[in-house]
């Protein structure tokens, strides 16, 4: 439970994080435009409120200001589950570009939120999409396979026993997809 004084200190520390660079705002405006152009409704009011989430993410991550790694929040602005793939296709490349330029900022070490559980969830979600009978475009299939290969590379970089076990699961899933004939359409 937070005391009133603690809450006031957090609030006072939050205000400076609401200062965004022109570069950050330009990238954010571009993402909002792309999201809207793909048919995902994102009102002006909601777009402004998201700025507070970016600042909160920076605060929780111990950074003085928001940076493009905080755009992960946009992955969750969908109005129905079908839009999650669209958002991932828009936001994912921006995040990956940021992490390629700033590998030290990658949040692999988030063990306090259960890295093994997160890996399992990612692999299971992609497995369910790839093994379902639901029709999938070539672009969607490629996107999921690319995500699996990126997960595999990240897990190999971690190198722990649970990571090696997850790599084996990813390789098994990749083998299943290639044998399933989803490519032969």
Q: Check if the beta carbon of residue 4 is closer than 8 Å to that of residue 67.
A: no
Structural fold of domain 1-107: Helicase, Ruva Protein; domain 3 (1.10.8)
Q: Report d(CA 166, CA 142) in Å as an integer.
A: 20
At residue 183, the pLDDT reads 53
Annotated domain spans of the chain: 1-107, 109-185
- Predicted confidence at residue 108, as pLDDT, reads 47
pLDDT tens-place values along the chain, 185 residues long: 557 776 677 677 677 778 899 999 999 999 999 999 999 999 999 999 999 889 888 887 778 889 999 999 999 888 887 888 899 999 999 998 888 888 877 664 433 345 566 677 777 777 777 777 777 777 877 777 887 888 888 778 777 787 788 888 888 888 877 777 655 44
Predicted TM-score (pTM) of this structure = 0.55
């Amino acid at each position: 439970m937070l005391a009133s004084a603690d809450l006031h200190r957090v609030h006072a520390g939050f205000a400076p994080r609401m200062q965004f660079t022109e570069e950050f705002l330009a990238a954010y405006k571009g993402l909002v435009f792309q999201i809207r152009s793909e048919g995902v409704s994102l009102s002006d009011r909601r777009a402004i409120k998201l700025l507070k989430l970016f600042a909160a993410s920076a605060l929780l991550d111990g950074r003085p200001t928001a940076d493009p790694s905080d755009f992960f929040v946009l992955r969750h602005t969908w109005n129905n589950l079908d839009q999650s793939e669209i958002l991932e296709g828009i936001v994912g490349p921006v995040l990956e570009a940021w992490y390629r330029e700033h590998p030290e900022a990658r949040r692999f070490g988030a063990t306090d939120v259960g890295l093994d559980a997160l890996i399992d969830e990612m692999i299971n979600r992609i497995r369910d999409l790839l093994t379902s009978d639901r029709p999938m475009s070539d672009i969607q299939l490629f996107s999921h396979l690319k995500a699996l290969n990126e997960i595999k590379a990240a897990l190999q970089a971690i190198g722990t026993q649970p990571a090696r076990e997850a790599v084996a699961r990813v390789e098994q899933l990749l083998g299943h997809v290639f044998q399933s004939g989803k490519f032969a359409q």
